[in-house]
Amino acid sequence: AIGMAMYSEGSYEDVFSQLSDGLSWSKGWTESLKPPSKSALFQARLRLGAQPLRHLFYRVVRPLATPDTPGSWFADRRVMAIDGTCLDIADTEANEAHFGRPPSSRGD
């Protein structure tokens, strides 16, 4: 899943090849790996679920600013920014009501 985030423009097969090629190089493997099918990778990701990434997040993510860091707090709230991130959400009426839709010159 981390590899898919790092190589978000690539397909499952591309990401697997990027990761396995690096392992082959670092371990000195002489044989090439046949990548699993797109379906097999998708099914494995579903079986894995979100729990391993959630666990990793809670182990390593820590705020950088302390309460004494100038500009890091406003009205008792920590100031944050997420830059260049797009979040995909399910296309449901509830999500549309809450988040709205981005503007488009092509209409709905």
pLDDT tens digits along 28-73: 766 666 778 888 888 888 898 889 888 988 998 888 888 889 988 8
Query: Looking at this protein, which amino acid is placed at residue 10?
Result: G
With beta carbons less than 8 A apart as the criterion, state whether 35 and 17 touch. yes
pTM for this predicted structure: 0.43
Q: Is the pLDDT of residue 108 over 70?
A: no
- Summarize the chain as % helix, strand, coil (round to 5): 45, 5, 50
What is d(CA 35, CA 24) in angstroms, rounded to the nearest whole number? Answer: 13
Residue with the bigger pLDDT between 95 and 11: it is 95
